[in-house]
Amino acid sequence: MQSKKKGNIFIISAASGTGKTTLVSRLLKNNADLRVSISHTTRAPREGEEHGVHYHFVPKEEFESLISKKAFLEHANVFGNYYGTSIAGVESLSNEGFDVILEIDVQGAEQVRNVLPEACSIFILPPSLEILAGRLKGRGTDSADAIATRLAEARREIGEAAHFDFIVVNDDLDRAEADLLHIIKAGRLKRQAQQAFLDGLLENS
Ligand code: 5GP
């Protein structure tokens, strides 16, 4: 449902293998007033990924030109590729009244917190590091070395959870999705999010 009120910004971060993408897809499917910001990236599309749907896939030169034009709310180098959130993309969704999810890494989350302190940040944790290791191995796509590197990176990212507003443990998809939705709904009720309504109410009295 769209409204004239500006939508809120929700940052969702997690170490890879935590189920963040699955949870965000579920939220989008079940909530018509939520949108995810489609990031720009210089990484190559994976099988089944579409330009403009999963990412805006752009060459490095174009990405760097966008950086110099200050087109990004945040940008970071993740696993050797650039990723960034377009200011124009987020603004147009928020102005249409949609709550906007930024599914970004911990470096990007820190940048957004600095420029948009009102954004709500959520970190998704795996139930344990053993379970995360099992999930990464279960993908069957990485070598033992690559898995060890990803796990070390996961530990480092999880250490950053201390800077987030909320922590959701993904031990059960249904429960974690419900937890995320509670946070999003509570975000809509925050005084800052209702300030325009409050001002209007007093003006018209
Ligand atoms: P993947 O290449 O697997 O889609 O994403 C790799 C990592 O980059 C994930 O942690 C994902 O959340 C993060 N990521 C995706 N888009 C952005 C973005 O626009 N900015 C930042 N900082 N990270 C992003």
Select 9-37+99-203's CATH number: 3.30.420.40, 1.10.3720.10, 3.40.50.300, 3.40.1350.10. Answer: 3.40.50.300
pLDDT tens digits, 60-99: 999 999 999 999 999 999 989 999 999 999 999 999 999 9
| Lowest mean pLDDT across 3-12, 136-145, 166-175, 193-202 | 136-145
Report the separation in Å between the CA atom of 79 and the middle of ligand 1, taken as the mean of its atom positions: 9
**pLDDT value for 54:** 95
Average pLDDT over residues 116-134: 94
**pLDDT value for 142:** 73
- Positive/negative CA dihedral, 36, 41, 43, 49: positive
Provide the 8-state DSSP code for 160. G
For residue 2, pLDDT over 70 is answered with no
Per-residue confidence band for 184, with pLDDT thresholds at 50, 70 and 90: very high
Beta strand pairing call for 9-14 and 99-103: parallel
Percent of the chain at pLDDT exceeding 90: 81
Mean pLDDT of the chain: 93
Beta strand pairing call for 34-36 and 99-103: parallel
Average pLDDT over residues 114-135: 94
If one residue of 18, 39, 160 were mutated to test the ligand 1 pocket, choosing by the most ligand atoms within 8 A of its CB, it would be 39
Nearest ligand 1 atom to the CA of 13 is 12
Nearest ligand 1 atom to the CA of 16 is 10
Per-residue confidence band for 3, with pLDDT thresholds at 50, 70 and 90: very low
- Tell me the domain boundaries of the chain: 9-37+99-203
Higher pLDDT, 197 or 168: 168
For residue 144, pLDDT over 70 is answered with yes
**pLDDT value for 4:** 61
Q: Give CA–CA dist 11/194, Å, rounded.
A: 19
18 neighbors 124 (Cβ within 8 angstroms): yes
- Positive/negative CA dihedral, 98, 117, 170, 184: negative
Report the separation in Å between the CA atom of 173 and the middle of ligand 1, taken as the mean of its atom positions: 21
Per-residue confidence band for 138, with pLDDT thresholds at 50, 70 and 90: confident
Report the separation in Å between the CA atom of 83 and the middle of ligand 1, taken as the mean of its atom positions: 6
pLDDT tens digits, 50-71: 999 999 999 999 999 999 999 9
Task: Please tell me if the CB atom of residue 12 comes closer than 6 angstroms to any atom of ligand 1.
Answer: no
For residue 1, pLDDT over 50 is answered with no
For residue 137, pLDDT over 80 is answered with yes
For residue 49, pLDDT over 90 is answered with yes
